[in-house]
Amino acid sequence: EDTNVRAVFVQDQWARGKHRSFVALRMTDHETFGDHLTWNAEYAYDIADDWTLNIGAGHAFRAPDATDRYGFGGSPDLEPELADEAQFGLRYRPGQRHRFDLEAYYNDIRDLIEFNSISFVLENVSEAEIRGVQLAYQYEGDTVTVRANLVRQRADNAMTGDRLARRAEETATLSVAKDIGRHRLGLDIVASGDREDFGGVELPGYVLANLSGQFSLFGNWSLNARIENLLDTDYETAANFRMQPRSSFVELKYKWR
């Protein structure tokens, strides 16, 4: 079944002295779910040479796709998700190579699309709240790039107060990339706290590591290699569904110039 979606959007950004702002508007005409106006507004102020204050707010709309409505566990009666969000952040840049970001955010979502473990069908949650704090660090060196991120968040069903299923409250990521001549090596580490699945099942936290390499060979040829789940961690993000064990991928590329 075809669904027609038409949209028009406009955006503008403005900067003067220590002030910067960004505004975007989008009007979506969805054949099934009607017209929806969404928007995003951001403002930044340089409170000092190294410090920047950021605030933002927005309204979002997400229509259920064909898989949500007609796939396994789908429901044609689903309503679109509507969300209001707000964030407040501080950025610190002690020089050109380092950057620290601290952000607090809050999302209020109506008709959140969630899986019902009793009926095995997707359904809308009347109202959900997601609030959290994020701390990020970035280093850009001549041959080394480092990115780290810590997130602490809480996602609840606002009507019942229950924790939303399959969402970890704590996550941390670390990415390190090193250029060696024309080659590049990368290591990504993801640590996730425990999460609660349907029926009160507690899924333990886990740590994953992925190793990657990009190698220039000769002429226009290059080789990309990747090992996912390097530590062969046994973990689940949904009860009784074991995730992928250690896996290796190799890609040989030729680039036309």
Question: At 1, is the pLDDT very low, low, confident or very high (cuts 50, 70, 90)?
Answer: low
Instruction: Give the mean pLDDT of 141-168.
Output: 92
Q: Report the predicted TM-score, pTM, of the whole model to 2 decimal places.
A: 0.83
Instruction: Give the mean pLDDT of 64-92.
Output: 92
**Mean pLDDT across the chain:** 92
Q: Which of 203, 186, 185 is nearest to 194 (CA)?
A: 203
Instruction: Give the mean pLDDT of 10-21.
Output: 96
**In this predicted structure, which of 45-49, 126-130, 157-161, 251-255 has the lowest mean pLDDT?**
157-161
Q: Give tens-digit pLDDT for 196-223.
A: 887 778 899 999 999 999 999 888 899 9
Count Cβ atoms below 10 Å from residue 107 Cβ, excluding itself: 19
